[in-house]
Structure 1
Amino acid sequence: MERSPWHAGEQRLQAHVGVAERMEAFGRKVIRSEMPDQHRQFYRQLPFMLLGAVDAEGNPWASILEGPPGFAHSPEPASLQLDSLPSADDPVQLQVGAAIGLLGIELHTRRRNRINGRTSEVGAHGLSVTVDQAFGNCPKYIQLRQFHSVPLADPSTRIAQRFNALDDAATAMIRSADTFFVASYVDVDNSRAVDISHRGGQAGFVRVEGNCLTIPDFAGNQHFNTLGNLLLNPRAGLLFIDFTTGDLLQLSGSTELLLDGPQVETFQGAERLWKLHVQQAVHRPAALALRWRQMS
């Protein structure tokens, strides 16, 4: 029998909400081992891509690569090339053969598509990714924003800070956010699969107490890519972007799922919750040339 497009964690959560049979049929239709031409053209018009990867200690991290439109391009349906690399202060540092998750998202149109795969080349100026899974996502919870670019600040003025506990500035950045990105992964059948997903809500939808973030999970596409990963491997990496300053806040830590219970009811519209216990954090001021303004 053909292998399911879903792993055991995703299947367990789909069964928990009563959609396992429907999602099995749906997944076989929409999750592909190659990018359709529409996705290949979409990636080419983007000025940035989100990525998820795992460091040598097994910590997942979420990050972002930017470049002029066309920096992401597909020479063939099963391959995506990115003419950009993580900077030296990024906790994401890639090696050939590493599992990677990619997300292309257009905030001003709410379009998004995803790739899970592995790096086939990592050179001085970019990387190539071989596709394992390619699929689209719905536009839910994406806040409309239009981008523009500014010159990057002098490197001496944007020194990365690493810490193990959230300070006041990091806490304030999280509490004001209406968007973040989450990287997670599983090791199944001696193969690693990394995913990166978008999360959005009203500003303040992520609650912070000390080093613990509590995050609502709203009604979605019922893929359960992220939560399915966390069910099997309770570790995640989060990326918060200050869309005005280009600052990045990257977090990595352990997670726990709350599928029901009274705490879920304290978040309006939440179907379940999950928590991140921050163990590592990196603040990279003015790391991006991109800036975004909110659209009405």
Structure 2
Amino acid sequence: MTAATTPRQPGPYHPGERAVQDRAGRTDRADHSGRAVGGTIPAVAARFLTERRVLVAGAADADGRLWATQLSGPAGFLRAADERTVAVAARPAEEDPLAAALAGPAEVGTIALDPAGRRRMRVNGRSVPDGRGGLVITADQVYANCPKYIHRRHPADRPGAGGPRRVAAGSALSTAQQLLAATADTFFIATAGPDGRMDASHRGGHPGFLHVLGPDRLRWPDYPGNSMFMTLGNLELDPRAGLLVPDWETGGALLITGEARTDWTGPAAAELPGAERVVDLTVTGVVELADATPLTWTAPAHSPADPPATRHPVA
């Protein structure tokens, strides 16, 4: 069967997620958290979507590489057309690595983030173009996450902001891109399940929590969460990953693709305060976009859940 027709495993979790939950000793807690995963969009979630200005979307390009990007618009550009469908009045710009993929049917993982209210909601499913420059997503998984590691920020429009444009692309991070990554306090990660379905998730910490070990290698701590392990469960079976590192001050974005693995050894986690385990990413592609969003954001009020970050020099 193709990824488009493969049925989901019974329940909210696939074998990779179950393997990680078991290894972490969190199966019971995962079962409790899994009750929040649904296949429809409740009224409260529909209202939440309508108020958002940004949607992060993850998908695979024509070469099978995973990327995460962001779509934005005025409040109302996201709308729950019905309990299974999200209408998005935006699509990736031509120079975005997911422009071609989302110009046709695609599996997508999305996350709508409310930094000001420290809230987030994931909608995973299948996307098709709406014929008017936007997308229609048929929801397959819908669930909210806790506010941990979300930094409080408020958005503002940037008058005169242009459309997204590519300013750099390559197979590794430049020195300037390494600096952006090394000082980030937030990134998003797209991963794929064994059936090809996508997920997009949020990661946050004090600036410096995303470690740059070289132009082609990143590392970050895996902090305690809801024990669902949807990202690590996907990586357990499929190492492909896509990262989006937003530049909150300029509206730019750093898009990174590569392969990730989880390091469960005690010494690796012990080097990073608060880490239960560590994830290493080998970078294989980078795209830097200017004006990825017409928004800028206020300085952050950091999450009280953030462990201290150990700063590593940029290689």
Same fold (TM over 0.5): yes
- Which one of 263, 273, 278 corresponds to residue 273 of structure 1? 278
Q: Who is 1:232 aligned against?
A: 237
Give the SS at the match of 1:131.
strand
- Once the two structures are superposed, the pairs formed by residues 181-196 of structure 1 within 5 Å of their partners are 181-188=188-195, 192-196=196-200
* Mapped contact 2:21–2:227 kept (Cα < 8 A): yes
Residue 30 of structure 2 contacts residue 226 of structure 2 at CA under 8 Å; is this kept in 1?
no
Shift of 1:193: 1.1
What's the counterpart of residue 66 of structure 1? Answer: 72
Query: How far apart are 1:275 and its partner, in Å?
Result: 0.7
Aligned counterpart, 2:138: 130
Identity %: 36
Structure 2 CA distance for partners of 1:253 and 1:293, relative to 1, 3 Å: same
1:294 aligns with 2:294: no
Residue in 2 aligned with 1:8?
15
Tell me how large the CA RMSD over aligned residues is.
Answer: 1.6
Q: Secondary structure at the match of 1:262?
A: helix
Q: Deviations over 1:212-243 (max 9, x none)?
A: 00110000011101111111000100001111
Match of 2:150 in 1: 142
Mean Cα displacement is larger for which, 16-25 or 237-246? 16-25
Q: CA deviation at 1:260?
A: 2.1
Q: Say which structure is richer in strand.
A: 1
Partner of 1:170: 177
Q: Please tell me whether residue 76 in structure 1 is matched to residue 82 in structure 2.
A: yes
Uncovered stretches (5+) of structure 1, i.e. residues with no partner: none
1:14/1:20 contact within 8 Å kept: yes
Q: CA deviation at 1:96?
A: 3.7
> Is 1:284 aligned to 2:289, yes or no?
yes
Equivalent-residue separation in structure 1 for 2:295 and 2:241 (angstroms):
25
Measure, in 2, the Cα distance between the counterparts of 1:78 and 1:227: 26
Please say if residues 4 and 24 of structure 1, whose CA atoms lie closer than 8 Å, have aligned partners that are also in contact. no
Give the match's secondary structure for 1:30: coil
Q: What's the counterpart of residue 311 of structure 2?
A: none
Query: Aligned-pair distance for 1:19?
Result: 2.3
Q: Distance in 2 between matches of 1:41 and 1:238?
A: 27
Q: Aligned letter for 1:254?
A: E
Q: CA deviation at 1:18?
A: 1.9
Q: In structure 2, what residue type is equivalent to 1:203? A: P
Tell me, in whole angstroms, the C-alpha distance in 2 between the residues paired with 1:239 and 1:185: 15
State the SS of the aligned residue for 2:296. strand
Distance 2:147 2:267 in 1: 29
Deviation of the 1:249 alpha carbon: 0.4
Q: 1:117 aligns with which of 103, 114, 125?
A: 125
Quote how far apart the aligned CAs of 1:290 are. Answer: 0.5
- TM-score between the two structures when normalised by the length of structure 2: 0.88
1:3 Cα offset (Å) = 1.1
Contact 1:152 1:286 in 2 (8 A): no
Shift of 1:49: 0.7
CA distance in 1, matches of 2:98, 2:130: 13
Paired positions, count: 290
Report the secondary structure of 1:68's partner residue.
Answer: coil
CA contact (8 A) 1:6 1:24 kept: no
TM-score, normalised by the number of residues in structure 1? 0.94
